[in-house]
Amino acid sequence: MSESLLVPCPHCNALNRVPEAKLDDDGRCGRCKQALFSKSPLHLTETNFTVHAAQGDIPLLVDFWAPWCGPCRSMAPAFTAAAGVLEPWVRLGKVNTEEEQGLGARYAIRSIPTLILIHRGSEIARQSGAMGAEEIRRWALAQLGRPAS
């Protein structure tokens, strides 16, 4: 029997129980009926951050960025591309540190872009500096102890 995971909906933030073996079966939210995985980063705010970072069973890779940051803007397409490859095994989200200063302070963000990998509310790893899509994918999988092949 496969283990069930709690998967927060990227649209309404409802928690959905999904068998691990069916994560990549294009599941839909039980509440809003929208796709549980969109293959693109979530816009994270104080309102939805905790449900995705602490209540769900899917690891969350967060890009802390700001609109005025050149390296952040140049990494954005790579981060989106990485979401297309890493989901449904890793959820990707973005925190605009200008809009969400509380989240930036909570995670002691000193330079941007900074990637933080969080699983069940605990920080697993962090990496500062812009990276390409393949670099992001390999780094995240390595931190989770999964093969990057």
Domains of the chain: 38-143 (3.40.30.10)
What is the pTM for the complete model shown? Answer: 0.95
Whether the per-residue pLDDT at 1 is higher than 60: the answer is: no
3-state secondary structure of 21: helix
pLDDT tens digits, one per residue of 22-55: 988 889 999 999 999 999 999 999 999 999 999 9
CA 127, CA 132: separation in Å to the nearest integer? 13
CA 44, CA 106: separation in Å to the nearest integer? 14
pLDDT-derived band at 2, boundaries 50, 70, 90: low
- Catalytic residue list contains 72: yes
pLDDT tens digits, one per residue of 67-109: 999 999 999 999 999 999 999 999 999 999 999 999 999 999 9
| Of residues 22 and 116, more confidently modeled | 116
- Catalytic residue list contains 69: yes
Q: Exactly one of 9, 29, 32, 72 is catalytic; name it.
A: 72
Which strands sit side by side in the sheet containing 122-128, from one edge to the other? 42-43, 91-96, 60-65, 114-119, 122-128
